[in-house]
Structure 1
Amino acid sequence: MLDGSSPLTEEDRRLIALTEDKLRLIVINKADLHTDTIHIPEGISISARNGQIEPLLDALNELYEQNVLKDEPVLSNERQIGLLKLARTDMIRAKEAMEMQIEPDLIEIDIMAAHDHLKEILGEVSREDLIDTLFSKFCLGK
């Protein structure tokens, strides 16, 4: 969503360029305020403040009718994909451990690791996990 009341920022331009080959809807908000400050042919002008969102609803409906919008979940970045792969590896390890009749307490470790990775995809990270990540990724010193 772009702010239609002001010209495109460098970040806006970069995001538009990065998503050029992707399925996207470019929504230009504040249609009630802008006077042709943004020229994007495929842009959808709306005004959330005035409730003028019909063009966006129409575009979403069109995507739905074309069966572009599916019920399948989409992971939005490499980090989430990596976490899903880790969760899958944990579950495979747990399954193999069950087949080898390993102690349930040990199998639980892999299942809980998978659970934690899935929670992180959803943004459910505990404060302790966040601190551990900070210390493992960054050198915090004197």
Structure 2
Amino acid sequence: MSLTDLLDVLVDMKQDFEISDAFLDNLLSRTEWANFLGFHRSTLWRWEEQIISKIPPLKSSYYENHRGVRSNYLDGYQRFLLAIIYLLKGQSVEKGIKNNAQVVKFLKRNFMHLRRKEFEKWKESQ
């Protein structure tokens, strides 16, 4: 997977108005975001523990506002990162991403383009 694949995921996200509009709300709880994606909130917890926490630069950006503490609410950037994981795992057949280790590998290769400031630029371009 390359940056081109990441750009494809971002384009897919931008074209899915239901998902892209979800970043406009201030805060949603993990339960609300999990319900929106069609999962139980424990799935989001596992993604945070088994994927995001394995990539120090993304972990730092993910918990930036909370000084490494897990808040009860997700801001737009956190939902964005979880939505990317959701899309990557949802496209496992087409993209070849079958497990968390492959998602971690993909995100490690593309972490520079997935930081909080890049999210803000992406959001403004919508």
TM-score tier, shorter chain, comes to under 0.3
Larger fraction in helix: 2
* TM-score w.r.t. length of structure 1: 0.20
Q: Which has the larger radius of gyration?
A: 1
* TM-score w.r.t. length of structure 2: 0.22
